[in-house]
Amino acid sequence: MKNQKDFVLFSILSAFIILLSSCGGGAGGGGIFSAIEGEVKLGKKTAGWAVTSMVYYQGNLYCTNGSKVFSKGYGAGRGWASQSTSYDGAIGLLASDDNNLYILTYKPSTEVTSTTQDTYNYSDTQLSVLYGSTGTVNNISNIRTIFDNKVIGSGREAFATTADGTTYKLNGTAAPTAVGSDAASAVKVGGSTQLYQSFLSTTNFSNSKAWYIPLDGNGSAAIKEKNTPQFTITGIGSGAPTIDLSKTGGDGPLSERKTGKISGLAYYEETDSSGKKEYLLVSTTQGYYRIALDGTNTAKRCPYSNGEQLAGMGIIEGSFWTLPTGAIYAGATTSDTNRYGLWSYYPDGVWNLD
């Protein structure tokens, strides 16, 4: 299986065949895991397998592992509850706006196997509203991906990009409005939403600043899965620095050869006796790094307690998440299926299965 470099429909296909094969994204790391588990016992999975998507919607968090949708309160601790759904096929991606929770499903017209999973047929996707104005979204088909602008609270907007490269703003089950092209992610900066061709983007919790990692090359959405992320993070908005990850200090620099491909980008805040500290968290196919936003560009590998658990895993694109509460989430794959699933870190706690 490819390691997190394909465009977002990889998530749907991997979710669809994941029950048929064991194909971890990272090394087994048995020795590392055994040593760490001498101090921290492995938790119980409540959202297992490959969690490919997570969203905020009206005070709750929702995620999917390809066959089920799980939910819990925005500020809740460990543990997810399974939601009742009756969709035919794999559940690939979730997105939300202020009024609706969208779900993209995929039922292939021909059998998908490990050798044919790279043959996409976008006419096999269906976009529906799970909560809100429930039903199938009208006047849109051949959907490549769905996403939202990452707002916690009001002002959240959702989008879809189709196989022909058109990007639409969603409006419940009503016909969507064309707003751009080839977009794979969005952020809200100030009063406006910006669309990016890269799926690697994040905002701060006040939506006053944003960052994204451009894709190499200028291909259309139809061939974007062949490109790989750059190692430069571009800042948008007042006070949002641009960071060259190949020149970071501390445990840096980051490079594909050293750290693997980048699979996620998230903003993070901590407050201690000296005040608020701001960071960007960068997940890779070999763990995650914390990059200081204090002008030093210092990189710290797996900084939070028990974080080495993630060093032997691959973190799935679209599943790396942070919250103003201090929680961090990461959908991880590994050749050890006991550790395959959604992991979380809560302040004053440790990384463990969620």
Looking up residue 308, the CATH number of its domain turns out to be 2.130.10
Residue among 125, 127, 130, 93 nearest 107 (CA):
125
Burial of 66 (0-12, 13-18, 19+ CB in 10 A): buried
pLDDT score recorded for residue 76:
96
pLDDT (tens place) for every residue of the chain, 354 residues total? 232 233 345 454 544 444 333 333 443 344 444 445 556 788 899 997 888 899 999 999 999 998 999 999 999 999 999 998 888 888 989 999 999 999 999 888 777 666 666 666 888 899 999 999 999 999 999 999 999 999 998 999 999 999 999 999 999 999 999 999 999 999 999 889 999 988 899 999 999 999 999 876 544 444 455 566 689 999 999 899 999 999 999 999 998 888 888 889 999 999 888 889 999 999 987 789 999 999 999 999 999 988 888 877 788 877 899 999 999 999 988 878 888 889 999 998 999 999
pLDDT score recorded for residue 28:
39
Edge-to-edge, what's the strand order for the sheet holding 60-64? Answer: 53-57, 60-64, 69-73, 81-83
Residue among 84, 39, 83, 76 nearest 60 (CA):
76
Residue 72 lies in a domain: yes
Residue numbers of the domain that contains 298: 9-353
Under 8 Å between Cβ of 130 and 101: yes
Token digits of residue 39: 């101090």
> Beta strand pairing status for 101-106 and 90-96?
antiparallel
pLDDT score recorded for residue 293:
96
pLDDT score recorded for residue 221:
44
Under 8 Å between Cβ of 341 and 331: yes
Distances, alpha carbon 119 to alpha carbons 10, 109, 124, 137, 251, in Å: 10, 12, 12, 25, 39
Token digits of residue 138: 């009208």
Q: How far apart (Å, rounded) are the C-alpha atoms in residues 236 and 8?
A: 24
pLDDT score recorded for residue 75:
93
Residue 261 lies in a domain: yes
Residue 1 lies in a domain: no
Burial of 49 (0-12, 13-18, 19+ CB in 10 A): buried
Residue 330 lies in a domain: yes
Residue 3 lies in a domain: no
Token digits of residue 342: 């959604």
Q: How far apart (Å, rounded) are the C-alpha atoms in residues 17 and 66?
A: 9
Distances, alpha carbon 137 to alpha carbons 42, 53, 93, 108, 247, in Å: 41, 19, 15, 19, 45
Quickly tell me which residue has 């996403």 as its tokens.
147
pLDDT score recorded for residue 300:
95
pLDDT score recorded for residue 119:
62
pTM of the entire predicted model = 0.89
Residue 4 lies in a domain: no
Q: How far apart (Å, rounded) are the C-alpha atoms in residues 332 and 230?
A: 22
If you ran DSSP here, which 8-state letter would residue 253 be given?
-
Residue 213 lies in a domain: yes
pLDDT score recorded for residue 339:
85
What's the total number of domains in the chain?
1
Question: 131 - beta bridge partners?
Answer: 101
Residue 2 lies in a domain: no
Give the total residue count for the chain.
Answer: 354
